[in-house]
Amino acid sequence: MVMAPLLLLDPAPVFADTECQVNDPQTGVCLVWVEVPGTPGTPGEEGDDAPVETSGGESCVWDGTALGITQPPPGPVPCSSDAGYWSNGLNCYIQLATPVPPAGDPAWQGHEPGDGAVYHCYQPQTGILVYLWSQDPPPDSGTTPTPGEVARLAIEDMQLKAINIGLAPEPGPASVGLVGMPVWMWAAGPDDHTFGPITASASAGGITITATARVHRVTWDMGDGTEVVCRNAGTPYKPEYGKQESPTCGHVYATSSSREQDGKFTVTASSDWVVEWTGAGQSGVIRLNGLRRSVAIAVGEAQVLVQ
C-alpha cells in the first residue's frame, strides 16, 4: 500500500485449548504442553496469590510518541467515530474525503481520480486534519489483534518449556524410596525458558507489546493422590542432608507403590506461569497453566530384620 499525507489544514472537529505430547528421546520422560487460561485468584484463597488474569485490552490505540507528541499519553481510543475508523499506523481517524477533490488538485499527489482515493486523516488529540492519498484503504485497527493477542505472539517466541525434574530418591531401577522417608523435589537447572523470568516483544496491527513471563508456582502430583504446591524452584538434595526434609519443596509417602502400574508412582510437575505485558498505553496479565513433565518413582516398605 502506498500512501502520502499532503496538506495541513486548519484544525477540524491468543488461543484455543491445545495439547501435544512428546516423549523425550534421551530420558523417556513425558512432556506435555497444555495452554489454558489460569483461574483468577480469590482474595485470601490459599494457593493462588498470583496477579488476576485481565482482558486482552483494546486494539485501537493513540500513540503520538513517534510523532514527538507526549500529550495526551498513549492509550486506547474508540475504534470508530463520526470522523471514520481508527488507524494505529497513522494515529488518526480515516474517512473518504468529501467532496472528492477535483482532478489536478494537489490532494491527488499527481494521481488521477480513480487511481486510489483521497482520505481525511483526523487526529482529535491534536485537532489536526490532513488529506491523505492512498492506493488502498488504510488498515482498520478495529479488526486487528488486541494487545493481549499480540502478547501471546511474544509468548510463542519465548519457547517456554517444562521444568527438568529433580527428585531424591532419583527415578530409576537402582533407586527406591521408602515409606515415611522424605522425598525432595526441585527444578533441576532452572533457566529463562523453564522457570523465567524471560522477556520478549512482538508487533502486530500497528502496536508493539513487551511481555515478561515467570513461573509463579509448580504443582507436584505425587501419584498417591497428593498434590504439593511449591512457590519456588525447590532445593536440590545433597547427600550431607541425610534424612532431613526439604526446607522448600518435599513430600513423605504414607504407602508403597507396589500396587501401582509397574510398581511405581508417576510424579508430574506442572508449571503455572504468569505473563505480564505492557504496551500501547495498556498493561495486562495472562495466566498459563500446564507445562508438564513426568517421571516414575518406586517407593517400598522398610523391612525389619527380626532374629
Considering the chain, tell me which residue range(s) the CATH 2.60.40.10 domain(s) occupy.
38-58+144-300
pLDDT in tens, 105-120: 999 999 999 899 999 9
pLDDT tier for residue 65 given thresholds of 50, 70 and 90: confident
pLDDT greater than 80 at residue 51: yes
pLDDT tier for residue 300 given thresholds of 50, 70 and 90: confident
Give the pLDDT confidence score for residue 17 in this predicted structure.
Answer: 32
Residues 6+ apart with CB under 8 A from 128: 8, 11, 92, 122
pLDDT greater than 60 at residue 41: no
Give the CATH class of 38-58+144-300: mainly beta
pLDDT tier for residue 40 given thresholds of 50, 70 and 90: very low
pLDDT tier for residue 28 given thresholds of 50, 70 and 90: very low
Give the pLDDT confidence score for residue 39 in this predicted structure.
Answer: 35
pLDDT greater than 60 at residue 98: yes
Q: Which three cell numbers stand for residue 286?
A: 495472562
pLDDT tier for residue 174 given thresholds of 50, 70 and 90: low
Report yes or no: 94 and 130 within 8 Å, Cβ to Cβ.
no
Report yes or no: 212 and 151 within 8 Å, Cβ to Cβ.
no
Mean pLDDT of the chain: 83
More confident residue, 3 or 160: 160
pLDDT in tens, 127-167: 999 999 999 999 999 999 999 999 999 999 999 999 999 99
Average pLDDT (280-301) is 92
Give the Å distances, CA to CA, from 139 to 56, 65, 89, 279. Answer: 20, 20, 8, 20
Give the pLDDT confidence score for residue 95 in this predicted structure.
Answer: 96
Write out the DSSP string of 230-262: ESS-B----GGGTTPPPSSSEEE-SS-STTSGG
Average pLDDT (50-62) is 90
